């Protein structure tokens, strides 16, 4: 029977190891593995059984074997494994302690660890019962109670400074006695207040004393706890007392001239500090900004200008006075709704426009306001003023826009919001001119700058023959160098009847985004050079060419 049990455990460990290896052998890039629900349930059952063996071994005191199993457990249950290691340590310490105070300490830590263990088992969806460990703890607790019942009871008598001010001094004195009044000399007594712990040793007559300086805090009362931990002879005891703090509590009254404003708007804030001190400091905070006002006199109304943040929604404004000795801080909170003012925009534009030529946009707003609007066509932006609800702006349609419909948007700028979009038909003559003609025009357009045309024929890697123009003009030369590189990358041969726009669209998606963006920009600069004879930035052209050739 024992052999069968050992065999079952061995098979369980083998199955668990295979399951873990299967998960670990997934590619490193796979962060989450989705298994069928049936498989997940089976794995959870195996893992639950494994950890149940760990719990059972802990409950019967087989700590060494339990710890070995924890170390060999799957690493994806690392939190659970760490918790079990701590639980084993606390239980071992609890069982090995002879001091009653240490037993009570490790009993507390064991219970904390068990509560965490319950939450982790639920988190990992494991079906493991902790009843065996709770049964062990019940026996230990009964033993502690029996041990305590044999101890001599103690009591602590204390005297604490009844009241003081923030930052003041207090004295805590007392005596540690048995219940029949016998002093207990040279024992440690612990004192806690404001989340800090202090220790003192009783003198030859069981008395103790502690002098403390309080921090500059403003609460009405502080609780002092004095306690004695049990020993093998004396039971533990505890007592408390309170210290009252005396200070003056000011009051702030504050208001805004409006509770709603737009992003970046300036509002007026009025406040009055009701206090008994002079030369006060007040800090006004809103979002990530703050304003400091010094030499604030009591019972006087002050006005200051604050700027609303560029974050829409409800924003808190806090007005705080700083403390001064026995004068506590005061604070008040206001709320303002940061928003835009809605506006409707109507504008007129031609039915069709020619790329590269100017056109006029006229419009008006409802309600009428004085401010600014943003007009966008392609990547071009135009800002224009709105006067009494009307605006007019002359825009140039980018020569890079393709033939067809394109949107024109007009947006109101803060403090107003609203956008209107219309579609206009763009006629781009470049889309109608073949690449061969562009080369022909470029030859003559650049001839005044000693342009030399060379024709080469080349056949490489299955790419067909084509005609190339190599110009001594740096812009045209850079474009045709880029063209040659793009052909090699994409295996898309340039035909004489292609327009530069058609070829640009042809290679879209066939080269990486950085190269495409650089080639698109270089194509645009080439067009400006050929058709507009613009003086261009050669440094930009060279940088674009480097990206394409890399």
Give the pLDDT means over successive 10-residue stretches in the chain (550 positions): 41 43 37 44 81 91 91 87 93 85 84 90 89 88 78 94 95 95 95 93 96 94 93 90 95 92 86 94 91 94 90 89 94 89 85 79 89 84 89 79 80 83 78 54 47 39 37 70 83 73 80 85 78 70 84
Superfamily in which the 342-429 domain is placed by CATH: Immunoglobulins (2.60.40.10)
Domain assignments of the chain as residue spans, ordered by start: 2-23+35-149, 154-245, 251-339, 342-429, 433-549
| Cα 207 from chain centre | 54
DSSP class of residue 531 equals: I
Residue with tokens 């005596």: 175
For domain 154-245, the CATH architecture is Sandwich (2.60)
> Hey, what CATH topology would domain 433-549 get?
1.20.120
Q: How far is 404 from 267, CA to CA, in rounded Å? A: 48
Q: How far is 550 from 537, CA to CA, in rounded Å? A: 20
pLDDT of residue 464: 36
Cα pseudo-dihedral 242, 246, 248, 249, rounded to 10: 0
Give 198's contacts (C-beta < 8 A, 6+ positions apart).
Answer: 190, 191, 192, 210, 212
CA distances from 310 to 265, 415, 462 (A): 9, 11, 58
Report the 3 state secondary structure along 147-176: HHHCCECEEEEEEECCEECCCCEEEEEEEE
Spatial CA neighbour of 58 closest among 34, 32, 86, 78: 86
Q: How far is 536 from 544, CA to CA, in rounded Å? A: 13
Q: How far is 344 from 377, CA to CA, in rounded Å? A: 19
pLDDT of residue 353: 79
pLDDT of residue 460: 38
pLDDT of residue 531: 65
| Biggest distance spanned by C-alpha atoms of the chain | 120
DSSP class of residue 207 equals: E
- Name residue 383's beta-bridge partners: 374
pLDDT of residue 273: 95
pTM higher than 0.85: no
> Hey, what CATH topology would domain 251-339 get?
Immunoglobulin-like (2.60.40)
Q: How far is 148 from 95, CA to CA, in rounded Å? A: 16
Kind of pairing, strands 196-201 and 188-193? antiparallel
Helix (H) or strand (E) holding 8: helix 2-24
User: Do 251-339 and 433-549 have matching folds?
Assistant: no
Phi, psi of 490 (to 5 degrees): -100, -15
SS3 (DSSP) at 291: strand
Residue with tokens 């009055």: 272
């Amino acid at each position: 029977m024992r052999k069968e049990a050992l065999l079952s455990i061995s098979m369980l460990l083998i199955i668990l190891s295979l399951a873990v290896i299967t998960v670990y052998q997934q590619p490193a890039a796979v962060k989450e593995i989705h298994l069928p629900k049936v498989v997940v349930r089976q794995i959870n059952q195996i893992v639950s059984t494994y950890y149940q063996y760990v719990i059972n071994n802990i409950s019967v005191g087989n700590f060494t074997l339990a710890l070995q199993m924890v170390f060999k457990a799957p690493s994806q249950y690392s939190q659970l494994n760490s918790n079990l290691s701590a639980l084993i340590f606390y239980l071992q310490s609890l069982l090995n302690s002879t001091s009653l105070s240490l037993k009570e300490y490790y009993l507390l830590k064991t219970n904390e660890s068990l509560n965490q263990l319950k939450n982790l088992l639920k988190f990992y969806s494991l079906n493991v019962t902790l009843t065996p460990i709770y049964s062990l703890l019940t026996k230990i607790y009964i033993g502690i109670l029996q041990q305590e019942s044999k101890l001599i009871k103690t009591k602590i008598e204390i005297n604490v400074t009844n009241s003081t001010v923030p930052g003041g001094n207090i004295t805590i004195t007392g005596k540690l006695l048995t219940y029949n009044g016998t002093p207990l000399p040279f024992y440690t007594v612990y004192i806690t207040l404001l989340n800090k712990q202090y220790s003192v040793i009783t003198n030859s007559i069981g008395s103790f004393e502690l002098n403390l300086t309080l921090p500059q805090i403003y609460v009405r009362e502080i609780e002092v706890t004095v306690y004695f931990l049990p020993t093998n002879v004396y039971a533990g005891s505890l007592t408390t007392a309170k210290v009252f703090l005396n200070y003056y509590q000011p009051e702030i009254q504050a208001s805004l001239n409006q509770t709603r404003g737009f992003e970046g708007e300036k509002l007026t804030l009025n406040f009055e500090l009701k206090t008994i001190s002079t030369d006060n400091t007040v800090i006004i905070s809103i979002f990530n900004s703050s304003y400091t006002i010094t030499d604030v006199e009591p019972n006087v109304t002050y006005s200051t200008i604050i700027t609303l943040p560029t974050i829409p929604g409800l924003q808190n404004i806090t007005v705080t006075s700083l403390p001064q000795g026995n004068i506590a801080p005061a604070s008040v909170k206001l709320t303002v709704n940061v928003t835009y003012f809605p506006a409707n925009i109507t504008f007129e534009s031609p039915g069709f426009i020619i790329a590269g030529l100017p056109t006029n946009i006229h419009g008006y707003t409802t309600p009428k306001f004085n401010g600014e609007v943003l007009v966008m066509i392609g990547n071009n932006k135009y800002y224009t003023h709105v006067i009494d609800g009307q605006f007019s702006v002359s825009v140039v349609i980018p020569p890079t826009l393709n033939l067809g419909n394109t949107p024109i948007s007009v947006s109101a700028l803060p403090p107003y919001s609203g956008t209107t979009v219309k579609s206009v038909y763009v006629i781009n003559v470049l889309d109608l001119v073949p690449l061969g003609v562009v080369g022909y025009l470029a030859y003559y357009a650049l001839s005044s700058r000693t342009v030399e045309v060379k024709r080469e024929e080349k056949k490489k890697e299955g790419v067909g023959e084509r005609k190339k123009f190599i110009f001594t003009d740096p812009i045209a030369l850079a474009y045709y160098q880029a063209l040659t590189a793009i052909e090699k990358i994409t295996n898309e041969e340039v035909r004489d009847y292609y327009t530069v726009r058609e070829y640009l669209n042809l290679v879209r998606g066939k080269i990486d985004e950085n190269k495409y963006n650089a080639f698109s920009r270089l194509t645009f600069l080439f067009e400006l050079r050929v058709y507009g004879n613009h003086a261009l930035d050669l440094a930009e052209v060279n940088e674009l060419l480097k990206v394409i050739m890399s």
